[in-house]
């Protein structure tokens, strides 16, 4: 080899090493693994099958997406409408069409140049009705610890009756036996125990026993449903008894539960995975490492809710999150921070609730810990008590003290989880967050409990506590893991499913992954967030709407627009409340009434080209309000409903919807705020579709979408209408209404991403904030290898902009295009030279612009 050749080879090796290092630093998929440039979420269910998805392939290709993003594809419980209640990991959903229909869908996608990614549920399986639908669970119910599947479930078999608790009875077991509601069925291949729709196996050799003794002899314990929150002995998903956690940390369980998915990744039927609720796993990092190893580093994103400035753990081998962190920042761009003080004052005046969200969160978490998650807390205390009793140096820390400490730590813990792995030193960030929780807990504990608090802190961090050399004990390792698995349910049930329904000075801020105490995002903060994504997570997912969001993207910003005119909002609200007085019962509380008005504004459909528009239907509004007031758990709950109160809420809502005078006033207000809402609807969509990351378009949201929390957001989508409108726009017609404007923005942004993939998701992708002379515009360039390839411009806070005289001579500085040409707006067709451009010109046709190099 010559010196020149050697030098060239060394240079190539150095470049390869540098590229590999950059890819690892940026958490990119492995070599040769495909990366979507965009995804389109499809909710597969019995009413929307794989064949229905196949029929959309041509439309999705024309829209500009590269991947269909499928809800869970494996066999779910009978009648499931969402797929997160898997019962069989070895088969594709039969209700959606099974393997044959799935193959037809894949073929149709490929024919149009598309691929698919799928949702994965590694944390839990369904406890279905009948239980026989889950063969793995059925085996454990029949054979208990002797089942070949006993390692699948996280069960505490040390209970007094050594049985898996099945809390399915409508009354206590004694009453059920006296009433003769349990029946032994011996007509089939094996004897069965029946309780109405529930069916259970009978332990071999016990079928001849009297019913009371037969029930006692099983490896499961039939119990009243209320027993679950106090004595459940299997880990579940949050507080949902019908979703039992599985132990994917066990390699055999991982392999069996992922075999079909891994095979589909190997054959290219799937290009990537979305991981549901990784915080529930015993070892999220270990799970992702195993997944990366089995798939060669496939594109994988995780449903991780990051609190505040929290970052995804750098040692997680995945592409990023499913986008709630992006949703928070993008939505915040279109919330006027000047509205915070008056909106807060109005909220406290109307509801009597505090101005500070913190006490509301604390109270809600405390209730959840004491009630909904009592079982999980009790199990933690059992572990701690056993650890302390086994170590003479810790023996004087009492069960009562441990209970108080665990309770306060769970209430004070500010995140879904810390990431401590038994046998490893706790990461500095995990120690810092736990120390923060310790200081919060200390304020609520008597001084004599502080020493116990320090011991528990050290145990949770895997540090030495008590006698030397005892850090590696199994119970201590289990405590570390189980505490982390409990933090998530406390946050989810306490904050998102309780506090968010109690405190809503502006309910559009109360979103999954959101922070209601934060009122708006500055352009500077947004640019910094995007720069961080490019540096470390350039192929993370971004989103505006999901199957879990509490309000669809346009409902949020349509309501957020009122923050730009808080005085007009307060005045209008006073008039509406006066006009609606005849519909208001004395039982109706202030917070719920305020939520009704906010929901009415958020969901009001603007009049379109077809003339439709107006308020939400009574059916949809009543279903939402029932869920909202029961989740709030202030006047009524799911388990102890107050029918008189719920009737008062429903009567008020239907009364308002039937009052033409009230609706006319609301409609006039929505029309007055429509320009601001339009700017936000289009602005947040374009920003999300062109910022760093892989954007997901939730089904149907290429047009206006003002749905509420599930199941409202799972309603059927009119794809024929969307396809017809897209054909109209592609034929050269100009948009006639906001729906068509949003479709234009969505399709042109997605196509630009697809055509310029290197600038958006390629190895050389970059992000550059662009200078503007007005803070009411946000602008940035997407670059490839340092050269600008696309420019995004969006209007923010138009009401404030108007108060300051509009755009006037404010300008935007356009960068040099990659080859020195002019910039052309793919939305309007207007062209501009590099350098200063008047914002009034760039945004003359729409409140947004997307510029690419001419030609």
Q: How confident is the model at residue 471 (pLDDT cuts 50, 70, 90)?
A: confident
At residue 1, the pLDDT reads 42
DSSP 246: B
The Cα 132–Cα 405 span in angstroms is 41
Q: Report CA-CA distances (Å) from 498 to 111, 492, 515, 791.
A: 46, 8, 14, 41
**Residue pLDDT, tens place only, 309-366:** 899 999 999 999 999 999 999 999 999 999 999 999 999 999 999 999 999 999 999 9
At residue 20, the pLDDT reads 67
User: Most distant CA pair in the chain: distance in Å?
Assistant: 95
pLDDT at 165 over 60: yes
pLDDT at 447 over 90: yes
How confident is the prediction for the chain on average, in pLDDT? 95
At residue 113, the pLDDT reads 98
At residue 17, the pLDDT reads 65
Helices (H), 26-56: 50-55
Task: Concatenate the DSSP letters of all residues of 515-577 into one string.
Answer: -TT-----HHHHHHHHHHHHHH-TT-EE-S--TT-SB-HHHHHHHHGGGGSHHHHHHHHHHHH
**Residue pLDDT, tens place only, 28-40:** 999 999 999 999 9
At residue 11, the pLDDT reads 73
Give SS3 for 185: strand
Residue (of 315, 322, 278) closest to 24 by Cα position: 315
At residue 820, the pLDDT reads 86
**Residue pLDDT, tens place only, 550-576:** 999 999 999 999 999 999 999 999 999
Q: What is the mean pLDDT of residues 716-724?
A: 97
**Residue pLDDT, tens place only, 225-262:** 999 989 999 999 988 999 999 999 999 999 999 999 99
At residue 3, the pLDDT reads 45
**791 phi and psi, to 5 degrees?**
-130, 130
Q: How confident is the model at residue 818 (pLDDT cuts 50, 70, 90)?
A: confident
Residue found by looking up tokens 């008047």 in the block: 838
Burial of 298 (0-12, 13-18, 19+ CB in 10 A): buried
Q: How confident is the model at residue 10 (pLDDT cuts 50, 70, 90)?
A: low
| pTM (predicted TM-score) | 0.95
Is there a contact between 333 and 523 (Cβ–Cβ < 8 Å)? Answer: yes
Give me 810's structure tokens: 């404010």
**Residue pLDDT, tens place only, 112-160:** 999 999 999 999 999 999 999 999 999 999 999 999 999 999 999 988 8
Helices (H), 284-323: 284-295
**Residue pLDDT, tens place only, 75-116:** 999 999 999 999 999 999 999 999 999 999 999 999 999 999
At residue 187, the pLDDT reads 93
At residue 2, the pLDDT reads 45
The alpha carbon of 55 is separated from its chain's Cα centroid by a whole number of angstroms, namely 27
At residue 609, the pLDDT reads 82
Give me 199's structure tokens: 């069916």
At residue 7, the pLDDT reads 47
Instruction: Give me the residues paired with residue 43 across strands.
Output: none
At residue 160, the pLDDT reads 81
Residue (of 164, 57, 168) closest to 116 by Cα position: 57
At residue 4, the pLDDT reads 45
pLDDT at 164 over 60: yes
Domains defined for the chain, CATH in brackets = 32-123+248-322 (3.20.20.80), 131-245 (3.30.1590.10), 360-496 (no CATH), 566-672 (1.10.10.470)
At residue 15, the pLDDT reads 62
Is there a contact between 659 and 583 (Cβ–Cβ < 8 Å)? Answer: yes
At residue 729, the pLDDT reads 98
């Amino acid at each position: 080899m010559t010196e020149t050749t050697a030098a060239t080879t060394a240079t190539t090796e150095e470049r390869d090493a540098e590229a590999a290092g950059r890819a690892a630093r940026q958490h990119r998929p492995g070599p040769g693994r495909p990366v979507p440039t965009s995804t389109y979420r499809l909710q597969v269910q019995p009413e929307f099958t794989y064949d229905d998805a196949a029929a959309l392939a041509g439309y999705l290709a024309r829209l500009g997406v590269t991947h269909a993003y499928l809800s869970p594809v494996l066999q779910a419980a009978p009648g499931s409408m969402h797929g997160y209640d898997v019962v069989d990991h070895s088969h594709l959903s039969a209700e959606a069409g099974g393997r044959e229909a799935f193959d037809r869908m894949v073929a149709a996608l490929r024919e149009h140049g598309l691929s698919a990614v799928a949702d994965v549920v590694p944390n839990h399986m369904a406890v279905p009705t009948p239980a026989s639908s889950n063969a793995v669970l059925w085996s454990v119910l029949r054979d208990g610890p002797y089942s070949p599947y006993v390692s699948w479930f996280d069960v505490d078999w040390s209970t007094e009756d050594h049985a898996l608790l099945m809390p399915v009875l409508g009354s206590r077991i004694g009453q059920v036996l006296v009433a003769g509601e349990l029946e032994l069925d011996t007509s089939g291949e094996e004897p069965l125990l029946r309780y109405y729709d529930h069916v259970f196996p009978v332990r071999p050799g016990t079928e001849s026993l009297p019913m009371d003794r037969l029930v006692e002899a099983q490896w499961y314990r039939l119990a009243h449903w209320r027993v679950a929150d106090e004595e459940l002995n299997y880990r579940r998903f949050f507080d949902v008894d019908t979703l039992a956690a599985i132990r994917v940390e066990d390699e055999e369980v991982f392999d069996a539960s992922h075999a079909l998915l891994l095979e589909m990744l190997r054959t290219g039927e799937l290009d990537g995975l979305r991981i549901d609720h990784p915080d529930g796993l015993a070892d999220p990092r270990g799970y992702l490492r195993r997944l990366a190893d089995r798939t060669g580093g496939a594109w994988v994103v995780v449903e991780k809710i990051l609190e505040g400035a929290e970052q995804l753990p750098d040692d997680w081998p995945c592409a990023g999150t499913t986008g709630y962190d992006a949703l928070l920042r993008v939505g915040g761009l279109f919330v006027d921070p000047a509205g915070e003080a008056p909106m807060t004052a109005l909220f406290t005046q109307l509801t009597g609730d505090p101005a500070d969200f913190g006490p509301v969160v604390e109270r809600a978490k405390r209730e959840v810990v004491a009630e909904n998650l009592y079982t999980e807390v009790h199990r933690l205390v059992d572990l701690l008590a056993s650890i302390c009793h086994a170590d003479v140096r810790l023996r004087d820390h009492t069960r009562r003290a441990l209970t108080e400490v665990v309770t306060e730590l769970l209430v004070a813990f500010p995140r879904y989880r810390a990431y401590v792995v038994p046998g490893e030193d706790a990461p500095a960030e995990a120690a810092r967050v736990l120390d923060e929780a310790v200081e919060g807990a200390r304020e609520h504990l008597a001084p004599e409990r502080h020493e116990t608090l320090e011991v528990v802190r050290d145990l949770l961090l895997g540090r030495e506590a008590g006698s030397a050399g005892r850090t590696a004990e199994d119970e201590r390792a289990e405590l570390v893991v189980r505490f982390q698995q409990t933090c998530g349910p406390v946050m989810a049930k306490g904050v998102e499913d309780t506090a968010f329904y109690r405190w809503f000075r502006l309910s559009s801020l109360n979103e999954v992954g959101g922070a209601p105490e934060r009122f708006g995002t500055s352009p500077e903060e947004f640019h910094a967030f995007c720069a961080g994504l490019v540096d470390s997570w350039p192929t993370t997912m971004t989103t505006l709407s999901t199957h879990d969001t509490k309000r669809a993207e346009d409902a949020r910003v349509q309501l957020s627009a009122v923050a730009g005119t808080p005085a007009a909002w307060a005045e209008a609200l006073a008039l509406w409340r006066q006009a609606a007085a005849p519909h208001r019962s004395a039982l109706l509380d202030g917070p719920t009434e305020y939520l009704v008005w906010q929901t009415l504004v958020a969901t009001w459909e603007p009049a379109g080209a077809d003339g439709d528009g107006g308020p939400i239907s009574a059916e949809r509004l009543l279903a939402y309000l029932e869920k909202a007031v029961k989740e709030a758990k202030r006047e009524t709950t799911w388990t102890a409903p107050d029918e008189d109160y719920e009737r008062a809420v429903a009567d008020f809502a239907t009364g308002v919807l039937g009052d033409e005078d009230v609706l006319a006033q609301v409609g006039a207000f929505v029309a007055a705020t429509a320009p601001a809402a339009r700017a936000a609807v289009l602005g947040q969509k374009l920003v999300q579709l062109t910022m760093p990351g892989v954007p997901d378009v939730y089904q149907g949201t290429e047009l206006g979408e003002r749905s509420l929390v599930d199941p409202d957001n799972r309603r059927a989508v009119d794809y024929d209408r969307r396809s017809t409108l897209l054909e109209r726009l592609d034929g050269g017609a100009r948009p006639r209404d906001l729906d068509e404007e949003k479709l234009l923005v969505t399709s042109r942004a997605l196509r630009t991403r697809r055509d310029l993939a290197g600038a958006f998701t390629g190895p050389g992708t970059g992000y550059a904030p662009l200078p503007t002379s007005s803070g009411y515009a946000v602008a940035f360039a997407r670059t490839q290898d340092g050269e600008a390839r696309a420019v995004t411009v969006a209007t923010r806070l138009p009401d404030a902009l108007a108060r300051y005289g509009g755009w006037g001579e404010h300008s935007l500085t356009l960068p040099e295009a990659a080859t020195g040409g002019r910039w052309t707006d793919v939305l309007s067709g207007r062209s501009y030279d590099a350098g200063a451009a008047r914002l009034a010109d760039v945004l003359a046709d729409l409140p947004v612009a997307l510029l690419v190099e001419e030609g």
